[in-house]
Structure 1
Amino acid sequence: MPHPGWSAFGFDGIGTTWEISTPEPLFKTVRRSLLGIVEDYDRSYSRFRGDSLVAGLAREAGTVILPAGASELEVLFKKLYRLSSGAMTPLIGSSLEQLGYGADYALRPLGHPVPAPRWEDVLDWNGSKISTSAPLVLDIGAAGKGQLVDLVAAVLRSGGITEFLVDASGDMFHSGAEPLGVALEHPYDSTQAIGVVELHDGALCASAANRRAWGDGLHHVLDGATGRPVETVVATWTMAASAVEADALATALFFVDPKVLDEEFDFSWLKVYSDGHAAYSAGFEGTLFT
């Protein structure tokens, strides 16, 4: 929920709904900048539009030059690919398409699950330059929306706006003097909450198996090593200084022991398992309902 009395600017981008809340209405120039940066990001990274940079890599092997922010994604994905033993990978796109989650949104499996290609076999990612040895479906969704939240926050700050809330369908970044209470959506009932957390000058991101689910037990969080949906975890929340890290770590929690992630990243977390129990870090300050 935005702060009472704040103005909201809403729009659709990268396949989701956005709301930017600020104490005063945004100037038209700022609104245009926000819409422009979201469109540019989609045109670079979307696997759902044929004119994007990564769409060309799905048609044939080759090299593309991505925006400067690709370097940040490279470092993050490489680390989490290593820590997850290949379960979390930017090459999960072909596995998702195999199960029906492709550009046509058919949501009908094409066959049995297939593992993602091994990074070391097909992909050379060096900063903004990506080269492939075979056609592949690059999918940076596990961290991309978070990175775009950070980019939107940077646009607001460059416009002299210091108090705001960026909400990209639950992936949030807050800046301001007063903390904001945020409800944590129940993974099995979107009309209910399982708790409340305070967000203050940082990011809160979530990943849940129920958000993009179809068919019998099919959802978007796949294990890259098997191509199968994760069954043991149903929802995660993370809080970090940047939305790109919070977003990526929310997905990584489906595959990696939180203790392992705690050694490499500065973040707090909540993890809900399919049997109903929850685990959380000492720094995840909030209230869970019983």
Structure 2
Amino acid sequence: MSTAAASWRFDAIGTTWEIVTERELPGPVQDEVTARIDAFDRTWSRFRPDSEVSALARAGGSIPAPPDAVAMLDALATLADATGGAVNPLVGASLASLGYDAHYTFHDAGPIAAPDDWRERLTWQGGRLALSEPALIDVGALGKGRLVDLVLDVLLHTEAGDITVDAGGDLAVRGRPQRIGLEHPFDPRRAIGVWEVADAALCASAINRRAWPSATGATLHHVLDARTGQPVRTIAATWAVAPDAMTADAIATALFFDGGPRLAHEWGAEWVRMTTDGRVEWSPGCRADLFVRADSV
């Protein structure tokens, strides 16, 4: 991915990370990165019983707002508006009901819609994060991108030189540009194109990641329409480039729904997406080098 001299690979938050830098990261910097990731996970992971999100899911109530609460939940509220409620920060129970739960049981108990009155149940003003009743917050629509930004911020205060932070395909680049392959959602050995990323972030989402069979044998996956609790069936994969990874991650999620392209335009993000019938679409002026025929658009 880079001609930089040092690569640090490790597993965290359920995915493999690779941090590529021009100069090797000293131990204290690696420790700071690890601590930043763990702090975020202990707050927001719905897979950890000791997380603050899990505690709120058990009892509701109010806690001091974590440092990322306002940025992420404000953005999630915008995503909810842009997608007509298809994105919802209380979708956690819907994911768990289909089997994508804290124990990764993949036992399909059937779809349940996320509460459409989530703004009345969940608040994050006045320095407090509060739920009026127990509910499972899920920030997966943009949380990994936010964490990539937090890790990048640690590294920008070092002498690492050129930096690429890659968290399972959600990545941020500073310094030397990187050419990133866009993995075909139906064949991981192929790419539908290459995107050169310079001083920006690229995030992707696809229905072939975190997929499992339903009780009826149909394939389920983690990208749900919160209004129905059902997996999206029209879009197969999305890619978005934006100045920061949280924005790119949010747009990659929004692109599974009708309001995604408009929000991408408003937020200044470029994008590509593939439908489940194989068509490829992209934003006006998109700078990705796509390997597609004119009749596939």
**TM-score (structure 1 length as normaliser):** 0.95
Structure 2: tracts of 5 or more residues without a match: 293-297
Structure 1 pair 27–50 and aligned structure 2 pair: CA distance change class (3 A) = same
1:96 matched to which residue of 2?
95
1:22 matched to which residue of 2?
21
Q: What is the DSSP-based 3-state SS (H/G/I as helix, E as strand, rest coil) of the residue aligned with 2:74?
A: helix
Q: Please state if 1:158 is matched with 2:157.
A: yes
2:273 matched to which residue of 1?
271
Give a deviation string over 1:224-283, Cα, whole Å, max 9, x none: 111000000000000000000100110011013344214421100001101110110133
Match of 2:263 among 261, 264, 272: 261
Structure 1 residues 275-284 or 138-147, which shifts more?
A: 275-284
Structure 1: tracts of 5 or more residues without a match: none
How far, CA to CA, are the matches of 1:75 and 1:5 in structure 2? 36
Structure 1 residues 257-266 or 245-254, which shifts more?
A: 257-266
Match of 1:192 among 190, 193, 202: 190
Does the CA contact (< 8 Å) of 2:60 and 2:134 recur in 1?
Answer: yes
Does the CA contact (< 8 Å) of 2:251 and 2:264 recur in 1?
Answer: no
Question: What is the count of residue pairs matched by the alignment?
Answer: 287
Structure 1 pair 121–75 and aligned structure 2 pair: CA distance change class (3 A) = closer
2:68 matched to which residue of 1?
69
How far, CA to CA, are the matches of 1:143 and 1:137 in structure 2? 16
Q: What is the DSSP-based 3-state SS (H/G/I as helix, E as strand, rest coil) of the residue aligned with 1:126?
A: coil
How far, CA to CA, are the matches of 1:206 and 1:67 in structure 2? 26
Q: Please state if 1:58 is matched with 2:87.
A: no
Q: What is the DSSP-based 3-state SS (H/G/I as helix, E as strand, rest coil) of the residue aligned with 2:134?
A: coil
Question: 2:5 is aligned with what amino acid?
Answer: W
- Tell me how far 1:128 sits from its aligned partner: 5.0
2:42 matched to which residue of 1?
43
Does the CA contact (< 8 Å) of 1:100 and 1:109 recur in 2?
Answer: yes
Structure 1 residues 124-133 or 68-77, which shifts more?
A: 124-133
2:115 matched to which residue of 1?
117
Q: What is the DSSP-based 3-state SS (H/G/I as helix, E as strand, rest coil) of the residue aligned with 2:141?
A: helix
How far, CA to CA, are the matches of 2:158 and 2:127 in structure 1? 26
How far, CA to CA, are the matches of 1:45 and 1:235 in structure 2? 25
Q: Please state if 1:201 is matched with 2:182.
A: no
Does the CA contact (< 8 Å) of 1:87 and 1:225 recur in 2?
Answer: yes
Give a deviation string over 1:154-191, Cα, whole Å, max 9, x none: 00011233410000010010000x32111011101112
Does the CA contact (< 8 Å) of 1:71 and 1:127 recur in 2?
Answer: no
Give a deviation string over 1:20-45, Cα, whole Å, max 9, x none: 00111111111100111001111010
Does the CA contact (< 8 Å) of 1:99 and 1:113 recur in 2?
Answer: yes
Give a deviation string over 1:73-98, Cα, whole Å, max 9, x none: 02101111111111101111000011
CA RMSD of the aligned region, Å?
Answer: 1.3
Does the CA contact (< 8 Å) of 1:69 and 1:128 recur in 2?
Answer: no
Identity %: 44
How far, CA to CA, are the matches of 2:125 and 2:210 in structure 1? 31
Give a deviation string over 1:60-119, Cα, whole Å, max 9, x none: 121122421211102101111111111101111000011001011010111x21100121
- Tell me how far 1:150 sits from its aligned partner: 0.3
Question: 1:172 is aligned with what amino acid?
Answer: L
Q: What is the DSSP-based 3-state SS (H/G/I as helix, E as strand, rest coil) of the residue aligned with 2:81?
A: helix
**TM-score (structure 2 length as normaliser):** 0.93
Does the CA contact (< 8 Å) of 1:187 and 1:210 recur in 2?
Answer: yes
Structure 1 residues 229-238 or 190-199, which shifts more?
A: 190-199
How far, CA to CA, are the matches of 1:170 and 1:128 in structure 2? 33
